[in-house]
Amino acid sequence: MNLARLLTRLLALSGAGLVAGCATRTPPALPVMPLPVAPPAQVSVPVVTTPSGPLVDPTGALVDASETLFGRGQAELSLGHLTAARDLFDQSVDMLLDAPQGARVEPRLRVQFERLVSRISALEILALREGDGFTQARTEPAVIDQLLEAATLTLPEPTRETQAAVAADLASTDHDLPIDNNDRVQSFVELFQGTLRDFMQESLERSSKYLPMVQEIFRSEGIPLDLAYLAIVESGYKTNALSRASARGVWQFMPATGAHYGLDQTWFLDERSDPEKATRAAAQYLKSLNRMFDGDWNLAMASYNAGPGRLQRAVNKSRINDYWKLTATSKYLPKETRNYVPMIMAAVLIAKNPQAYGFDAVPVSPLVFDRVTVPDALDLRTVAEWTGATIEDIRALNPELRRTTTPIGSHDLKVPLGMASVVEAKLATAAPSLFAQFSYYHAKSGENLSAIARRFRITRTDLAAANGLRTTSKLRTGQKLLIPLVVTSALASRPAVVTAEVASAVTYRVKPGDTLFGIARQFETTVDDIRKWNSLTSTRLAVGDRLTIHRN
């Protein structure tokens, strides 16, 4: 039943109650007469029934219903589902606009309408910002920094129980990487069982998703499978790990080393965070280090930390090519490198036999997904909505993506298992406007990055990074530059619609609560320019007005 009918019913019930009340009033008693009179006729008294349940407040019910729709829209937006969020926000506003009493007449509806418009506008700004090409994927501090800091402190003495556990483990467990049983290895087993216990347990759980893939690659490259646990020490198997020295990903590749082994690093993506590609590169790098140090895996692992040049100089200077003897003194290598190999060996021991050291066994649960070729830059939130996943699910499958979109041009995207056909069907019917439209600018004579960055109100660093340039790079006249800005359709599609690409003119429909200043800020322009483009004689706007916005 709609609200108008509900109000009619309530009024009808109210009127009926008044009539019934009048009909049941008892007339005043007649005075007693001395003469006998006939007995009075029996009067039938109707039974008065009162409506069951509380009376409905139609305005309150309407406010509550619009708020419920808005809350559902927020929930969809938190998942990255822009279309579903937009539809729900539209419904929450439409419900008030279509009310018989009018959203701007009834005081409570007016207050709710203004609150909705304000909150949707704020969420819209955030959505535009996330889709503007600037937003970077979050990173976490690499654990190697914290582990090596902990290792510079006094290491715990191994207990008898730990010593016995290591000895029994080595006697019963096969290893394809030589593991030494000495007090330094045992001390790190003790450290992982104590102060760093939570870190180790969490790392074991994260590694379970990647171990089958890592070991398959290491097997194909002919290197020890036990080296898969080196990544526990490097990153705790966090794909988004970033060290203070700018090493990134599960295998903590430095930029130059990653590039040398074919890991692309652009404004859109950093393949050092791609688990599969980075693992392939790590296997090749470890093989190279092993050859460099004549098949000695201890020295190869030490050089993974210190760098091959530094380790080779230490070997040449000391004339010692045995890791344990080389690191018995502080003369040749820093403490972090002296502790690095025993730390890896301790991690290997625990990871291969966690229950022997008091850790919970973690079942291996391989990461599974489908691959889809995306033809051009596509918002990851769109993919999340198509697949019923969250934006974080899509990012977790594609940690190499640094932005909220796929790169410009063709890109192989990982999607939840079983969703490839769904995404491919959506892509087959996708309008060109669905893909992110980036703005480009051709440098004029004498212009530099700073001047162009100011023109578009972005930082010189972002502009340089988006174009693979240094901040000090000089520009050629006519040089084409990517301006990392994307126009995204508004969350409330009824009040506002953006209908054209950034590079030319944009048609903007005014929504409730809009001001010229707010629109100018959104489109990186000025109030005066908007007035001039649209022949406006005042700053007053009406909902539904269409404004033309020109972008350079």
Res. 93: pLDDT tops 90: no
- Mean pLDDT of the 119-130 span: 64
Q: Could you tell me if 93 and 167 lie in one domain?
A: no
Percent pLDDT > 70 in the chain is 80
In a domain, 100, yes or no: yes
CATH of the domain at 233: 1.10.530.10
pLDDT tens-digit readout, 489-526: 444 444 333 333 333 456 677 776 678 877 887 777 88
**Do 305 and 414 belong together in one domain?**
no
Q: Which residues contact 168 (CB under 8 A, 6 or more apart)?
A: 356
What pLDDT is stored for residue 128 in this prediction?
53
User: Is residue 472 located within the same domain as residue 531?
Assistant: no
Residue 15 maps to a domain: no
Task: With respect to residue 39, please indicate whether it lies within any of the assigned structural domains.
Answer: no
Would you say 436 and 379 are in contact if contact means Cβ atoms under 8 Å apart? yes
C-alpha span between 203 and 250 (Å, rounded): 11
> Both 466 and 319 in a single domain?
no
30 in a structural domain: no
Residue 394 lies in a domain: yes
Helix (H, G, I), strand (E, B) or coil at 384: helix
**Token pair listed for 360:** 């919970």
Q: How does pLDDT run across 261-315, given as a tens digit for each residue?
A: 999 998 899 999 999 999 999 999 999 999 999 999 999 999 999 999 999 999 9
Same domain, 77 and 203: no
For residues 329 and 453, membership in a common domain is answered with no
pLDDT at 351 over 80: yes
Stretch (H or E) spanning 185: helix 183-193
* Residue 420 sits in the same domain as residue 285: no
- For residue 221, the one-letter residue type is E
Whether the per-residue pLDDT at 1 is higher than 50: the answer is no
Say whether both 513 and 409 belong to one domain: no
Calpha distance 320→314 (Å, rounded): 8
Do 263 and 170 reside in the same domain of the chain? yes
Amino acid 544: pLDDT = 66
Task: Label residue 428 by pLDDT band (50, 70, 90).
Answer: very high
What pLDDT does residue 40 have? 52
Cβ pair 343, 305 in contact under 8 A: no
Residue 392 domain flag: yes
Residue bearing the bigger pLDDT, 272 or 54: 272
Residue 163, class by beta-carbon neighbours within 10 Å (0-12 exposed, 13-18 middle, 19+ buried)? Answer: middle
* From 107-111, 233-237, 262-266, the region with the lowest mean pLDDT: 107-111
Say whether both 447 and 426 belong to one domain: no
Domains in the chain, number:
5
Beta bridge partners of 546: 509
Q: Is 505 helix (H, G, I), strand (E, B) or coil?
A: strand
pLDDT band at 32, cuts 50/70/90? very low
Of the listed ranges 12-21, 165-174, 235-244, 458-467, the one predicted with least confidence? 12-21
6 is a domain residue: no
Q: Quick one: pLDDT at residue 334?
A: 92
> What CATH number is given to the structural domain containing 468?
3.10.350.10
Flag whether pLDDT at 484 surpasses 80: no
Question: What pLDDT sits at residue 197?
Answer: 95
pTM of full prediction above 0.75? no
Same domain, 323 and 262: yes
Average pLDDT over residues 97-119: 76
End-of-domain residue from the set 328, 357, 386: 357
- The whole-number pLDDT of residue 137 equals 65
pLDDT digit string (tens) for 154-211?
A: 789 999 999 999 999 999 999 999 999 999 999 999 999 998 999 999 999 999 999 9
Could you tell me if 441 and 456 are in contact, meaning their C-beta atoms sit under 8 angstroms apart? yes
Domain span at residue 471 reads 439-483
pLDDT in tens, 379-409: 898 999 999 999 899 999 999 999 888 998 9
DSSP string, 434-450: GS---EEEEPPTT--HH
Question: Highest mean pLDDT range out of 13-22, 133-142, 325-334, 539-548?
Answer: 325-334
What's the pLDDT band for 49 if we cut at 50, 70, 90? low
Comparing C-alpha atoms, which of 336, 260, 352 is closest to residue 301? 336
- The confidence score (pLDDT) of residue 437 equals 72
Identity of the residue numbered 284: Q
Q: Do residues 309 and 178 share a domain?
A: yes
Q: How many CA atoms lie within 13 A of 164 on its CB side?
A: 3
pLDDT confidence tier of residue 42, bands split at 50, 70 and 90: low
pLDDT at position 54:
62
With beta carbons less than 8 A apart as the criterion, state whether 159 and 204 touch: no
Position 37 in a domain: no
**Across all residues in the chain, what is the average pLDDT?**
82
pLDDT at 151 over 70: no
